[in-house]
Amino acid sequence: MSAPTRTVIDVIVEDHREVEELFKQLESTSDSEQLRQLADQVIAELVRHSVAEEQYLYPAFREHLDDGDELADHEISEHSEIEETLKELESLDVTEERFQTLVRELISEVRHHVEDEENDALPRLENACGRDELIELGQKVEQAKQSAPTRPHPSAPDTPPWNKILAPGAGFVDRVRDSLAGRQTG
């Protein structure tokens, strides 16, 4: 079996593309059942992605980039805003007018966040780190996503060490709730 070669950049960008595909599906359907299912998938994917970034990517920004603290704080702030939107979206019925408004807001917020990361932060991190470290970070991000929550928890810690300690427990509870509710999350 060959050693993994996917870097953290590869993992993050792939996540971005998967979420963008879900956004396109959300934007093109009017079927209520499909809207709910897609919204739940988007929520789960974005929460898992955010948790993994906060656990490993943003600490790497802090360690390797001159303005890493400022950049990580900005990214976490954007995540907090997105998570509040996700929490509200999760609670709405797809037939409510606010649902479509929130979907549009969410898509706009996330596309802005993705553009910033892919055009600035990720290339800078790639230049600042060795390939082995980027691969190791990619593995850690993928592992974190496996145990991460699938529902937004806006009051949960978003920086190490507490996010690494509490997220797997919240993730377990979320997956049990998802299973009991028949919620499709990926």
* Chain segment 39-80, per-residue pLDDT in tens: 999 999 999 999 999 999 999 999 999 999 999 999 999 999
Higher pLDDT pick, 129 / 158: 129
- Assess contact for 138 and 60: CB atoms under 8 A: no
Contact 19, 42 (CB under 8 A): yes
Query: Residue 154 has what pLDDT?
Result: 79
Tell which wins on pLDDT, 155 or 116.
116
Give the CATH number of domain 8-181; options: 3.30.1490, 1.20.120, 1.10.3470, 2.160.20. Answer: 1.20.120
Confidence category of residue 179, pLDDT binned at 50, 70, 90: confident
Higher pLDDT, 123 or 186: 123
CA Rg value for the chain = 16
Q: Are 80 and 113 in contact (CB under 8 A)?
A: no
Q: What is the pTM of this model?
A: 0.90
- Give the mean model confidence (pLDDT) for residues 151-156: 78
Mark 97-106 as b/e (b = at least 16 C-beta within 10 Å): eebeebbebb
For residue 139, pLDDT over 70 is answered with: yes
Average confidence (pLDDT) over 82-89: 94
Q: pLDDT over 90 for what percent of the chain? A: 75
Domain residue ranges of the chain, discontinuous segments joined by +: 8-181
Q: Is the pLDDT of residue 3 over 60?
A: no
